[in-house]
Amino acid sequence: MRWRHFLEGYSFVGLWIAGFFLFMAIPLGRSLYYSFQELKTSREGLIAEYVGTLHFRAAFTVDVNFLPLLRETMTTMLSHVPLVLVFAMICALLLNRHARGRMFFRGIFFLPVIIASGTILKKLMEQGAAQLPIFMQYDLYSKLRLFIPGDGLVTLLEYSDSLTLVMWDSGVQILIFLAGLQTISPQLYEAAKCDGATKWESFWKITFPMILPMVFVNTLFTMVNSFTKADNGVMNHLRTVVFSNNNYGYGSALGWIYFMMIFMLLGIVFLLFRKSLTSMEGRG
Amino acid sequence: MKEAPLDYVKRNISGRLEAGLRHSAAKRSKAIVSSLVYYFVLLSLSFVFVYPLLYMVSKSLMQSWDVADATVRWIPTRFSLYNYQVAFAEMKYWQGFLNSVVTSFGSAALQIVSCSLIGYGFARYRFPGYGLWLGLLVFTFLVPPQTIVVPLYMFFSDLGWINTHLPFVVPAAFGHGLQGALFVLIFIQFYRRLPGVLEEAARIDGAGHMRTYWQIMFPLGRPAMLVVFLFSSVWHWNDNFQPSTYLQLPPFYNLAQRMSGFYGKANMSAEQMSQSISAEAIGMAPTLINQIMAGVILSILPILLMYLFVQRYFVESVERSGIAGE
């Protein structure tokens, strides 16, 4: 009976395991192998020659593009992730309110999921269409002058200008937060209200702890997303190395360095969340 | 001086009533203000999201003289679909459309079937190696596709799959492909929330495990399916990395690739035009932004239309599919 249960389980997930070997484990192993080889195309196909850690050393010493691109990717990621999380959280809280027309607004807020993935946003950014010119141009400045004193205004407008990019990146995150907010029972808020908690207090005492797992998921997702985005410099560099220069061995090594970096960062995030997540377990 | 009991009661009641009325009036006006603020914030955020779309549509309808004219900001002087005709012909739209449909909707449909099956297995069964495989599933989600692109390219090229749709469709059928691991995780979450009573009833009635799944559980997975289908098709549609790796001959290009090609071409011809332009006209460098925007709109139009139709169900599904459990 037990064995039958095991077999039945494997009959469902066996497909994935087969795929894992074909499309993940074997390619990953081969890519690690290639990263220590010099691959040359010849009449008999590819010829591999063992070169040791040459490619890895070259990435940090010879390649002038790789390190700056890597640093740029890391810094944009570090500044980007907290902004996306905060913005997505605010949007999700707004959309979660029982107000008229929220279905309409939700439809609009998820538009970035449709448009902003991949190349299209990249093209739009090159044309300046993804950013709002109103923040810097038109007469918004002179109009706002009436309400806000001059000094802070310019920095505020500049900041809002870069914020639009953050907004365009947070479609899926809003969705995940919203789905998380829906799972919190309204009775909790009622009970807190009866005990005299303000909205602010009930956010930090109820909403935030309940939604912490989603914060974790979103952090992971945003990080992975920003590492593999179409306008990511490292990614484009890698593609040039592999497909324009046909330097397969070096490309594999770059891929592995990049992957290790990402993995280390994700590991740090995982450790940070681990404590708070384990204390949340058992809430069902 | 002692008050008459009736007076005391009267005074007390009217006082309380007044205070109560005052309180609720204050409350109401506060509610009005807060909902005004609420809608203002929502509307301004919505504007930011809709703005690029409006910008694209407006620019794509303009003719070259409108683009050059600073007084024309949003509304073109004459309505014409000329840019769309140019973009449509340049991109060889129908060919690209068909390629995109196969790679994105085909893969999305296969991912629904395979990821649902796999997700159900992870949600309902415990077997030796369960933790290991689940860990590897998350691991798969984290590996950037760039790391394994070289061996995968060689693998597919050995099989003779370059310039076919197979590199997109076959991994999808195994529950892999673009973001396959994420979709499996969504299905795991969804099936974990369904009560086990349904399957027990089916098993008691003598259905095997596969029949139970296909006839009872798979159809119940609709909310999760909708979410996965929308994400998968949209991401495949907009993806440029995989197609530009595996589809290398123009007839096999999908819409995103054609759009990129058209974009480069339009930019180049605009540059040539500005080189041949006489000295007086400097500062009026011609751009073909109107044609580019028409191309961009044409390339996302199919998924935009799809989103308009499924948007309602999509938002509901996200709530029910438990995309965010644990």
What is residue A280's predicted lDDT score, i.e. its pLDDT? 53
Question: Would you place residue B122 in the very low, low, confident or very high pLDDT band (cuts 50, 70, 90)?
Answer: very high
The total of structural domains in chain B comes to 2
Give the tens place of pLDDT for each residue, A89-140: 998 888 888 777 777 888 888 887 777 655 566 666 555 554 555 555 545 5
Residue B73 lies in a domain: no
Distance, in Å, from the CA atom of B218 to the CA atom of B112, rounded to the nearest integer, reads 10
User: Average pLDDT for residues B37-57, to the nearest whole number?
Assistant: 83
More confident residue, B21 or A260: A260
Q: Are residues B245 and B312 in the same domain?
A: yes
Q: Are residues B39 and B88 in the same domain?
A: no
Q: Are residues B23 and B87 in the same domain?
A: no
Q: Are residues B162 and B53 in the same domain?
A: no
Mean pLDDT score of chain B:
82
Residue of B nearest to A46 (CA): B154
Q: Are residues B135 and B281 in the same domain?
A: yes
Residue B310 lies in a domain: yes
Q: Are residues B257 and B311 in the same domain?
A: yes
Residue B66 lies in a domain: no
Residue of B nearest to A99 (CA): B35
User: Average pLDDT for residues B252-258, to the nearest whole number?
Assistant: 85
Q: Does A94 contact B38 at a Cβ distance shorter than 8 Å?
A: yes
Residue B67 lies in a domain: no
> ipTM of this complex > 0.85?
no
A153, pLDDT greater than 50 = yes
Vertex A221: Cα angle to A215 and A225 (nearest 5): 145
Q: Does A108 contact B56 at a Cβ distance shorter than 8 Å?
A: no
Determine whether B275 is exposed, middle or buried from the number of CB atoms within 10 Å of its CB (0-12, 13-18, 19+). exposed
Sign of CA dihedral B244, B247, B250, B252: negative
Give the tens place of pLDDT for each residue, A67-96: 888 888 888 788 888 888 998 999 888 888
User: Average pLDDT for residues A197-218, to the nearest whole number?
Assistant: 86
What is residue B283's predicted lDDT score, i.e. its pLDDT? 46
A282, pLDDT greater than 60 = no
Residue of A nearest to B73 (CA): A138
User: Average pLDDT for residues B2-16, to the nearest whole number?
Assistant: 64
Q: Are residues B38 and B89 in the same domain?
A: no
Contact B215, B207 (CB under 8 A): yes
Give the tens place of pLDDT for each residue, A254-271: 888 888 888 898 889 888
- A232 lies within 8 A of chain B by CB: no
Give the residue numbers spanning the domain of B26: 5-61
More confident residue, B246 or B270: B246
Facing residue for A17 by CB, picked from B133, B319, B321? B133
What is residue B115's predicted lDDT score, i.e. its pLDDT? 94
Give the pTM.
Answer: 0.82
More confident residue, A126 or B223: B223
DSSP state string for B52-82:
HHHHHHHHHH--HHHHH-TT-SSS-SS---H
More confident residue, A134 or B304: B304
Residue B77 lies in a domain: no
Residue B69 lies in a domain: no
What is residue B110's predicted lDDT score, i.e. its pLDDT? 95
Question: What are the angstrom distances between the C-alpha of B284 and each of A13, B271, B280, B287, B288?
Answer: 61, 12, 9, 9, 12
Q: Are residues B235 and B312 in the same domain?
A: yes
Q: Are residues B56 and B102 in the same domain?
A: no
Q: Are residues B30 and B136 in the same domain?
A: no
Q: Are residues B154 and B103 in the same domain?
A: yes
Q: Are residues B132 and B19 in the same domain?
A: no
A284, pLDDT greater than 50 = no
Residue B291 lies in a domain: yes
Q: What is the CATH number of the domain that holds B103?
A: 1.10.3720.10
Residue to test with chain B: of A4, A24, A98, A220, most B Cβ within 10 A = A24
Distance, in Å, from the CA atom of B100 to the CA atom of A210, rounded to the nearest integer, reads 40
Residue window 29-68, chain A: list those with CB within 8 Å of chain B.
30-31, 34, 46
Residue window 119-178, chain A: list those with CB within 8 Å of chain B.
119-120, 123-124, 127, 129-130, 132, 164, 167-168, 172, 175-178
Residue B229 lies in a domain: yes
